[in-house]
A and B are shown apart, each in its own frame.
Chain A
């Protein structure tokens, strides 16, 4: 059966069993559980240091009400980074290329920030929909525009993650195929293409980490507005 470039994004199944559940649970297996010892080994210490540092950085702009989200945001960041990095390995499936998964992350979390804002401080939450100092003539127009921008946030969150990863994986596959096909015909061009492929892979590693960070950072910003 001839494969096309989009087969890598199909959700894998084996004998009717969806393997995406296995792909989603893999990051849990890779990270060691902290022990009850006072001094852990190097790996656990490094893991704990990174998680503490990241949480501290994430929670800087948030007040105490937003600090309850520390565990959720940090675990989301580690989960997304691990999924993306594993997806960059050859012949692996990246769950975060599925729009359904990313929307499943984005919509509930965004909705939670909106509901928290409307429940705890409805005046501030509604006041955000009209910029300060707006001319009277523009008030209805700007309220509608700000409402749309509020409603488009979960879509932007999910689609940003999906599109970045899908485009990156597709580019890697295209350039790799080009290098492979050119090797017997024009070895010099194939070597140049392989160099481009190497640089692109480095870029995709950076994009994988940055996109996960942007996802979590935007959630903290939405939370900051509503707490």
Chain B
């Protein structure tokens, strides 16, 4: 893998860097597949459910029978007997008051989900990888602006803490206290019936402390609101990606951090503590798309970009479009000018072809007008129409008004 593995420095309980540093475990370079995390989280969340159902006797404890037709009532089964309000009321149906519900809930609903081992491990690995990216931790909502380094590794002395007071002191010194303050600020009463079911308050999640050996850490940190504690050997996706979203703020202890390589393997070496597991292969070895597109290896193989595309040209008629005509035949402009001048001259004298045509037009127009007014049949077939009539006999004789052009 082209993944670089830098050194991560270890911090002591006072927030200062000890001299030690650990090589970043390969887990942190695993592909972050939020879709897998979301799916697995969703499935895992169902595993803590407790069965609930409606009593199967509910709504069925009547001997009601339908009155049938002819009684001017609806045909649902009605309660037998008399002497009480209940008699004659509808029973059994989901629409009836006091009837059984539609599809009564059964305990044998599938409450828990099996998830493939590989999927589970993939999701966990993605979640761990995401916890090592400061941007993702910030986006999740943790305030880590005062934390010295991500991933945050503390010395093993943390594991020996016994008092919560000391634990709080440690969190303050390493700059994680602002996250806990956020948790305090987010405490509010739950919306809904959970209030009266012993789930009254809700609050945000703070940092999770991952240790190797519990010499008191658990007890020291567990009363601090928002803090979760996990052993490296038994990491929980529901704690590393709460809500199905990756990027929880994680505080590692040194030995826990060192164990990650043995637990999850590097690509070159399989996991020692998990049976037949190695880190998932990413689809892209180098996922920096921006850099790739600018790289020489790719750019050299690409054709030049088409900056200006040639679009379909609208054909223009040179006979109507003077500029196009003059592009094709420069002399056309000259010709046109000459004819124009001649026409202008002819208009006054009446000798040009145009003026003659115009005069004839006027005469025919006038004659036609008089004919129309007198009621003469004006149907006159032109040559074209006569041809058309002979070829297609089915066509009816068309009445055409004589247009000036045909003359």
Q: Do A and B come from one complex?
A: no
